[in-house]
Amino acid sequence: MIAPDTIQQILSVARIEDVIGDFVSLKKRGVNYIGNCPFHEEKSPSFTVSAAKGIYKCFGCGKAGNVTKFVMEHEHLTYPESLEWLAKKYNIAIANVQLSPKQIEEQKSREQLLSLNQLAKEYFVEQLWNTDEGKSIGMSYFKERQLSEAVMKKFELGYNPDSEQAFTNYGQEKGFTLELLKSSGLTTQQRNADFFRARVIFPIHNVSGRVVAFGARTLRKDKTVAKYFNSPETEVYHKSKVLYGLYQARNPIAKNDFCYLVEGYMDVISLHQGGVENVAASSGTALTIDQIRLIKRYTQNIVLLYDGDAAGIKAALRGLELIIEEGLNLKIVLLPDGEDPDSYMHKHGAQGFNEFVLKNAKDFIRFKIQFSIEETKADPYRKAAVTKDLITMFGKIPDGFVRGEYIKEFCGLMQLSEEMVIREVNNLMRTALKKNAAIPSEDASLLQQQSVSNFDQTTQPDFFHGNPDEEQEKNIIRILLEWGSKTLSNNKTVAEFLFDEIEISLIDNVVCAKIFNQFLQEFEQTNSFDSSSFINSPDEEISAFVAELLKDQYLLSPNWESKHQIFIKDREMNFEEDVNSSVHHFKLKKLLKLINQNLQKIKTEKNLEEEIQLQYIHLQLSVMKADLAKASGTVIRK
């Protein structure tokens, strides 16, 4: 968690016109700046930035916010990640709170590895562009592969000279220890030599643009040397959690709403050069669940580009069920025999490439069904094995309707009894469900902890009709009355913020809902509000409720404080924190309630099809819960 002082420092240094200016060409107009909106396509600029107010607004698509909101939306980052992004831009060291000495040590060593990688990248780039060896060997290789200088710069390609210790010595001169050089993988363990010597270098970035590792290709003809290899796993590089090219591709992926997946570095780079920028590569490893989830941040749609030889296809078909399981849509495009994306793009250009993809993209599941059946034709004994394999795949399709359609198609083609296949698939899913039974119990216990009320029933009148969410709902009304007209750092008033964040139908308490609704209506009509009108409301239920609420706010606070460890020094000064944590706890409570209701349904549901749907809902709710905790930047204390 980033320390409040650091957050304040970041926000005071970051200038909105400067940050947005990195992505949008802004022209000064009067007191504001204006440019073409980066969030929607437009010809005449309607995207306005007010430097004085620190906000942006697009009059075309309605996107608006402050500087962190812009970074979050544009770079697809969470709130803490966007602060880190800004800190990096303005060279602000991030101070964290609540870290143990061990965590601080780990963070320091991660930071050291990242700065070493940064130094190495700059060194490799320098070698490629400005030394005789780099130019005659590295550069001529890239030129032979027809790469433009622009794309080489975009991907920060480099070269490590053919010398035993050139980089290792350089790194030490710059103050990095031999030990760190070894643990980064840039220097070998035994001989203290450069790991990547005489290779062209492909830096591997994480989603926030920092170099976490390197891929390297030898230029020697010697067949005993591995053509490509990568940095070993380090504290900052877990290869199963990184996709090559995703950093450069993330905005194009979001814009096009799909992502091409290819195999190698050169495939990614060639497609970029041809103008197809929504592409990433798992680079040599089988696709992992973490990589798929990375893509899922930007799109639900994946198009796999594969060279079309039979052995390769069979290997590829295996790992891809993970994508289906995550509920993503997967299409597959097989390139003509002997072609890879790199060679195809060079031969046919972007237009030819796009036409080919459009004509040849196949639905993955349908493709796999047809491919498998094709195989059994030559070998009838394989029919049983193939059926079993496909039944496993059907069992992984989360959507019941979609699953049914594919089963129908498959049974038609194979002349199998649909009923039999459905029974088999259901059995399989039931077994898989039992394996997952651990998740619900964890949520159930969390729910129990949350519903322990710290509300002292004996001193309070019964306004709440036994509603278990009283405290969170009451707190929303309290901050609405107490802080409603104050302005938050996102330039919204507290009332506006609450109207955006709180779904009124989720408020169960009748009086709370009534007050919230009345407030909302008054605000919509007059664009202002008067809290005191509620204290003197002619509606007795409301006036009594509000009086009680304001009276016991000082009783409530100490409880709230000790329970959630929110240290309120000065209510007035910390109203924003009060607002955010109240909204957070309201949402968490409602989410936990939905999770619990869903779990109850799962317990009693007899129909397997329904049960699977509920199980799927459970997963989605759990993800929302995790996201909520992450977005708030706070730890949910038990």
Q: Binding residues for Zn ion, per CB under 5 A?
A: 37, 39-40, 58, 60-61
Of 58 and 180, which has the nearer Cβ to Zn ion?
Answer: 58
CB 45 to Zn ion: min, Å: 10
Nearer to Zn ion, 46 or 531 (CB): 46
CB of 46 to Zn ion, least distance (A): 7
**What is the edge-to-edge ordering of all strands in the sheet holding 64-65?**
27-29, 32-35, 47-50, 55-58, 64-65
Minimum gap (Å) between residue 60 Cβ and Zn ion:
4
- Alpha-carbon dihedral 470, 471, 475, 481, rounded to 10 degrees: 40
Cβ pair 451, 486 in contact under 8 A: no
Nearer to Zn ion, 36 or 426 (CB): 36
Q: Which long-range contacts (CB under 8 A, 24 or more apart) does 623-630 make?
A: 624/591, 625/443, 625/588, 625/591, 625/592, 625/595, 628/584, 628/587, 628/588, 628/591, 629/588, 630/78, 630/80
Classify the phi-psi angles of 306: left when phi > 0, otherwise alpha if psi is within -120 to 50, otherwise beta: beta
Residues with Cβ within 8 Å of residue 320, at least 6 apart in sequence: 287, 304, 330, 364
- Exposure class string for 236-249: b at 16+ Cβ within 10 A, else e: bbebeebbbbbbbb
Burial class (CB in 10 A: 0-12, 13-18, 19+), 351: exposed
Comparison of 50 and 360: residue with beta carbon closer to Zn ion: 50
The CB-of-64 to Zn ion minimum distance in angstroms stands at 9
d(CA 390, CA 71): 43
- Closer residue to Zn ion, CB minimum distance, 40 or 601: 40
Q: In whole angstroms, how close is the CB of 483 to Zn ion at the nearest point? A: 30
Least distance between Zn ion and beta carbon 39 (Å): 5
Specify the residue, 44 or 224, whose C-beta has the smaller distance to Zn ion: 44
Which strands, in side-by-side order, build the sheet including 228-230?
A: 158-160, 199-205, 211-218, 228-230
* DSSP string across 223-277: TTS-SEEEPPPBTTB-GGG--BTHHHHHHHHHHHT-EEEESSHHHHHHHHHTT--
Of all helices (H) and strands (E), which one includes residue 333?
strand 329-335
Phi, psi for 360 (deg, rounded to 5): -110, 0
- Least distance to Zn ion, CB of residue 70, Å: 12
* Shortest CB 62 distance to Zn ion, Å: 7
Q: Which is nearer to Zn ion, 40 or 564 (CB)?
A: 40
Q: Nearest distance from residue 21's CB to Zn ion, in Å?
A: 17
Tokens matching residue 426: 């259901």
Classify residue 504 by its DSSP letter: G
Q: How far is the CB of 259 from Zn ion (least distance, A)?
A: 23
- Tokens 């989720």 sit at which residue? 506
DSSP label at residue 95:
P
Q: Which residue has tokens 């812009």?
A: 70
How far apart are the C-alpha atoms of 425 and 418, rounded to whole Å?
11
Alpha carbons 263 and 283: distance in angstroms, whole number? 5
Beta bridge partners of 229: 216
Nearer to Zn ion, 37 or 269 (CB): 37
Nearer to Zn ion, 39 or 586 (CB): 39
What's the rounded Cα separation, in Å, for the pair 377 and 386?
11
In the complex, minimum distance from the CB of residue 24 to Zn ion, in angstroms, rounded to a whole number: 10
Measured from the CB atom, the residue of 61 and 416 that comes closer to Zn ion is: 61
Query: Among residues 37 and 242, whose Cβ is nearest to Zn ion?
Result: 37
